[in-house]
């Protein structure tokens, strides 16, 4: 993951991060400079590096740091003129930085990409005001059971956050109020974790700009009855790969006619719980909904879009929209 050829990590938010390697400026042992454009460079530091950015460098497009070098580096990060920061294999288990100083950001911070980092909350990343954050295969805290609490979220996310990805981080719970200070969030992906539930209390205010919610490949068995009322602008919903059995119409109704795409594969759907979708009042259906498969007794793999043909029982069980 530490090589420039690995674009999955290095160029997650920046389409082209690195160009041809430069001989100058000298940035310290273990660090290399690369062309980005005429006004900006990108920087890569690996292993036992000593990063020193001269004052002549006015703009860093992408700063990639493999393994945290020392406390001094974490303190000087706030002063470096980067747009995109990528950190990998940082172990901050013995480090915790809490400074009451108010930082004034002279630079627009566009994205933070985190891979294989331990105890991410050790730094107050919210001070950087990142617009996009991608966290993968990392531990948010220094404890075994990973939970996103209000305290942790306020250290990680600022009010400028518009896209958040937490992927494969063994995240177990979302506490109350964790998204109380991210009003402009447009994309929320919490995928390949171990969430068994998601509460409306995690969203004390509606996320009026959220258009994509991805909760795929968790352990969700049910959803809070009012959860979708918090996302009035939602266009795409991904619930693939969970343990859900029922998707009541009353639950999905607040967003149903706004949705363009819905992903429901890989769950334990009971076909009778989709009888509401055969009623004319439920049409038009979002893309991919009718390809969802469900089961009834010994019948498996029935497509929801064909239920009206095979199960006229739906018209008699009293299911109401």
Compute the Cα dihedral for 35, 41, 42, 44 and give only its sign: positive
Q: Is 111 helix (H, G, I), strand (E, B) or coil?
A: strand
Helices (H), 115-266: 150-156, 249-256
pLDDT in tens, 200-228: 999 989 999 999 999 999 999 999 989 99
pTM above the 0.85 mark?
yes
Catalogue all structural domains in the chain, each as residue range(s) with its CATH number.
7-269 (3.80.10.10), 270-321 (no CATH)
pLDDT in tens, 291-300: 999 998 878 8
Q: Over 80: is that where the pLDDT of 178 sits?
A: yes
Lowest pLDDT segment from 14-23, 84-93, 254-263 = 14-23
Counting residues of the chain whose pLDDT is more than 70, the rounded percentage is 83
Residue 180: CB partners within 8 Å, gap ≥ 6?
150, 203, 204, 205
DSSP state of 285: P
Q: Over 50: is that where the pLDDT of 14 sits?
A: no
pLDDT band for 174, please (50, 70, 90 cuts).
very high
Predicted local confidence at residue 10, as pLDDT: 47
Residue 193: CB partners within 8 Å, gap ≥ 6?
166, 167, 168, 169, 170, 171, 172, 217, 218
**Percentage helix, strand, coil for the chain under 3-state DSSP, each rounded to 5:** 20, 25, 55
């Amino acid at each position: 993951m530490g090589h420039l050829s690995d674009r999955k990590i290095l160029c997650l938010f920046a389409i082209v991060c690195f160009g041809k390697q430069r001989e100058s400026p000298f940035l310290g042992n273990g660090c290399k400079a690369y062309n980005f454009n005429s006004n900006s460079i990108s920087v890569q530091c690996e292993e036992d590096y000593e990063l020193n950015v001269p004052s002549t460098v006015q703009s860093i497009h992408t700063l990639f740091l493999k393994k945290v070098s020392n406390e001094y580096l974490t303190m000087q990060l706030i002063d470096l003129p980067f747009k995109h920061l990528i950190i990998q294999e940082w172990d901050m288990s013995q480090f915790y930085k809490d400074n009451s100083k108010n930082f004034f950001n002279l630079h627009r911070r566009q994205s933070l990409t985190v891979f294989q980092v331990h105890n991410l909350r050790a730094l107050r990343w919210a001070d950087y005001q990142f617009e996009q954050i991608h966290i993968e295969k990392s531990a948010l805290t220094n404890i075994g059971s990973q939970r996103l609490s209000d305290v942790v979220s306020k250290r990680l996310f600022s009010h400028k956050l518009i896209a958040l990805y937490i992927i494969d981080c063994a995240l177990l719970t979302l506490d109350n109020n964790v998204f109380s200070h991210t009003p402009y969030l447009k994309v929320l992906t919490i995928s390949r974790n171990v969430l068994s539930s998601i509460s409306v209390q995690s969203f004390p205010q509606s996320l009026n700009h959220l258009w994509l919610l991805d909760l795929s490949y968790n352990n969700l068995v049910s959803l809070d009855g009012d959860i979708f009322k918090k996302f009035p602008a939602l266009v795409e919903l991904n619930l693939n790969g969970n343990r859900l059995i029922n998707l009541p119409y009353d639950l999905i109704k607040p967003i149903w006619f706004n949705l363009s795409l819905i992903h429901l594969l890989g769950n334990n759907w009971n076909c009778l719980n989709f009888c509401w979708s055969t009623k004319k009042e439920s049409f038009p259906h979002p893309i991919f909904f009718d390809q969802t498969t469900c089961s009834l007794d010994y019948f498996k793999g029935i497509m929801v879009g064909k239920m009206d043909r095979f199960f006229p029982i739906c018209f008699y069980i009293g299911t109401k929209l």
